[in-house]
Amino acid sequence: LWIAEGVRKGKVRHVITTNIDGLHEKSGLVRDENLSELHGNIFIGECRSCRKDHRLPAPISTPPTQDPLNHLITPSTPCPTCAAPLHDNMVSFHSTYQDMPSMEPRHDAAWVHCIKADLLLVIGSSLSVPTACDLVDVTFEKGGKVVILNRQKTPKDKFAFMNIFAKCADVVAMLPWDELV
């Protein structure tokens, strides 16, 4: 909720997440407007036939498969538009957005926001999952400041203007948006 409040107050332009739980949307952020979900969303089914995304009432269940592009939702859920089967849009471990072409626009939007960012605040990330962790490098290389808030060290700490080693919830609770520049 703290991040969504920052968006509402105009202090945060865009939120980039690798979480797939849909909680950022529940807090009021709008997918593809001020939110890039780099690894997908368990409440979104995508149709590979008509290319539309559909919000689902319950989290997606997909059986394990070796093919990251062929995650059919179980039980089979037809697309409300064209009746083709819906697939999940999740980028699995050991794969990248390149394995899930429908996620490329979200990844591209995240890159653009990081290129333009004056400040990139990383909250609670190990910064070890490609390609999301590379966004830190982009902001740094373009002259933006990077602040990393995490309980342990990350491989990207050397790019940080500031590292805060603490519980994320404890730190954000002390940061009122009205008093931040």
Task: For residue range 138-164, list pLDDT tens digits in order.
Answer: 999 999 999 999 999 999 999 999 999
- Nearest C-alpha neighbor of 132 from the set 120, 145, 142: 120
CA-CA distance, 109 to 131, in Å (whole number)? 13
Position 105: which residue type? P
pTM: 0.86
| Chain-centre distance for alpha carbon 133 | 11
Joined tokens for residue 179: 């008093």
Task: For residue range 22-72, list pLDDT tens digits in order.
Answer: 999 999 999 989 999 998 898 998 898 999 999 888 887 766 555 555 555
Strand pairing partners for 145?
Answer: 119
- Range in 10-19, 55-64, 73-82 the model is least confident about: 55-64
Task: For residue range 162-181, list pLDDT tens digits in order.
Answer: 999 999 999 988 888 877 65
CB 69 within 8 A of CB 100: yes
Q: What pLDDT is attached to residue 91?
A: 78
Joined tokens for residue 2: 């703290």
> Which residue among 24, 39, 71, 87 is the active-site one?
39
Question: For this structure, is 39 an active site residue?
Answer: yes
